Structure 1
Amino acid sequence: MKITSKDLAKVIVFQNATEDDLQLILKNSIIRSIEEGGFFFFQGDLANYFYILTSGQTKLMQSNPNGQQVNLRTIYPWQMFGALGAVRKEATYPATAQALENSSALAIESSFLHKMLETRPQIVFDLMTLMTTYIQEMQSRYRELATERVEQRVANALLRLAAQVGIRSEKETIIELSFSRQDVAEMTGTTLYTVSRLLSDWERKGVIETGRERIRILKPHDLVRISDGIEK
């Protein structure tokens, strides 16, 4: 797969970069390919590189000392991840990046991006925009954990996935999930048993239809009502 400057411009942080900047980034990048279940980096490693996913899907997960995991975010093609080292020297990755399917990414030295940020304010502002989006999403998820019932949290997680990667038609929204129900559980701060129970209940009610690593939302408005706490 040949990566072009047009491809790189799809990345939010580089959407206002010049053609010369995009070519320079490509010149200083290498392709890393990871098989399903493999890792781009581990939590606590030095953040010497940042990545731009070019194919596949990758999850960012964080573990506590007891080994409990939380799924922080799912990364899709042309999204940047692991960029903390470009902002702070000697930073470590706060999360582990695991490929949910065979995935490839551009790997770029964090120190290279750091130097670019010193002289290119348009990239700085776009990076700030991306970070603000992440902060707002984390705030929403924290509020959900603190104030909402588990069925609301799971419904909200599915609606977020629908907004990010759902394939829509006039009558339904299809979400192709390439991660497990355990990932949904980690994403919502609950258990695999609870997620499975809720999905089975919603399937009986005709709200969704499930398959192997797939969820078809048949009644999006009903799922929104569940997320708002209007329906149990």
Structure 2
Amino acid sequence: MGSRKTTPLNNPTLENLHCSIELKTEKLGMVPFFQDLKQPELDKVVEKFSANHFSEGDEIYYQEDPAHYLRVIVEGAVKLLRYTDEGKDVVLDILNPGSYFGSLKLLGSDVYTESAVAQSGCCILSIGLKDFKEVLQEYPAVSIALLESSSEKLRASQEQVKQLTTQSVEKRIANILLTLSGKFGEEKDGGTLLQLPFSRKDLADMAGTTTESASRVMSTFQKEGIIETGRQWVAIQDIERLRSVTKS
């Protein structure tokens, strides 16, 4: 990777987001409980979703709002946050295209258990309770896959809690960088470039640490040649060494 610190962030704007029917169907087919549907079936299901665009920083929904929609990202990135009783916000995850989020009453929650914010310009599909029930009635296999996907999400959430309580800050941050690079990374000049509006505070929140501690770890990684950082971007120059941090 080059040594420039001002690599421009390729942040999609609403003008260059192309939320075509083909792209909507492609990303909908990446959702775990829709993956086994055949193309004609996906074509019918996507018609039940509405598409909306959000600018970077827009609130998509708030924690404790009535859970009226299940959503799927077509373009862009979405940040999930949970607000604590002390008034602080904790970043739970950053989602990429093909990911689903939100909730519906039939999924076990009357309200959203987190807030969702557009991390970049986004195109998002939404489906309400009535239409989703019709999908489940027409495609019973989706119901079974939905239960399996919900169980996997719960397992992943439990693993995240385990990591936050048992791993060192270095391991937690290394795991987060690897996860984000898998979602958003671009292979470039022999490294992996992660371009995302993502602050040190976001990283610290996800790692369950302070901004100062997260910055120290990132500085150490940079001095060791594992990463290079700039304004809202990280270049992973030695991904194997980063993986080794998680296993040490």
Task: Say whether the fold is shared (TM-score over 0.5).
Answer: yes
Are the equivalent residues in 2 in contact too, given 1:37–1:98 (CA < 8 A)?
Answer: yes
Aligned equivalents of 1:19, 1:221: Cα separation in 2: 38
Query: Does 10-19 or 56-65 show the bigger shift?
Result: 10-19
The correspondence of residues 169-180 of structure 1 with structure 2, limited to 5 A, is 171-180=190-199
Give me the CA root mean square deviation: 2.1
Q: CA deviation at 1:62?
A: 0.6
Aligned equivalents of 1:47, 1:148: Cα separation in 2: 33
Match of 1:163 in 2: 182
After superposition, the C-alpha distances for 1:55-87 in whole angstroms (9 at most, x for unaligned) are 111111111121122211211112211134342
Q: Partner letter of residue 75 of structure 1?
A: L
**Percent identity for Structure 1 against Structure 2:** 28
Q: Partner letter of residue 83 of structure 1?
A: S
Aligned equivalents of 1:107, 1:52: Cα separation in 2: 7
**Partner SS state of residue 174, structure 1:** strand
Number of residues of Structure 1 aligned to a counterpart in Structure 2: 228
- Structure 1 residue 3 corresponds to structure 2 residue 51: no
Q: 1:173 to 1:2 in 2, by over 3 A?
A: closer
Query: Does 34-43 or 75-84 show the bigger shift?
Result: 75-84
The correspondence of residues 1-232 of structure 1 with structure 2, limited to 5 A, is 1-4=19-22, 5-19=25-39, 21-88=41-108, 91-168=110-187, 171-228=190-247, 230=248
Q: 1:7 to 1:63 in 2, by over 3 A?
A: closer
Are the equivalent residues in 2 in contact too, given 1:87–1:114 (CA < 8 A)?
Answer: no
Q: Partner letter of residue 21 of structure 2?
A: I
**Partner SS state of residue 71, structure 1:** strand
Aligned equivalents of 1:158, 1:19: Cα separation in 2: 34
Match of 2:13 in 1: none
Are the equivalent residues in 1 in contact too, given 2:27–2:97 (CA < 8 A)?
Answer: no
Q: 1:83 to 1:25 in 2, by over 3 A?
A: farther
Q: CA deviation at 1:148?
A: 1.2
Aligned equivalents of 2:194, 2:163: Cα separation in 1: 22
Higher relative contact order (CA 8 A, sep 6+): 2
Q: CA deviation at 1:7?
A: 4.5
Aligned equivalents of 2:40, 2:192: Cα separation in 1: 40
Are the equivalent residues in 1 in contact too, given 2:27–2:73 (CA < 8 A)?
Answer: no
Aligned equivalents of 2:241, 2:34: Cα separation in 1: 38
After superposition, the C-alpha distances for 1:80-138 in whole angstroms (9 at most, x for unaligned) are 111343423x6100010100111121111123213432452321232233223322321
After superposition, the C-alpha distances for 1:36-60 in whole angstroms (9 at most, x for unaligned) are 1011111001111111111111111
Q: What is the TM-score normalised by the length of structure 2?
A: 0.83
After superposition, the C-alpha distances for 1:21-40 in whole angstroms (9 at most, x for unaligned) are 43343332221111110111
**Partner SS state of residue 193, structure 2:** strand
Are the equivalent residues in 1 in contact too, given 2:104–2:128 (CA < 8 A)?
Answer: no
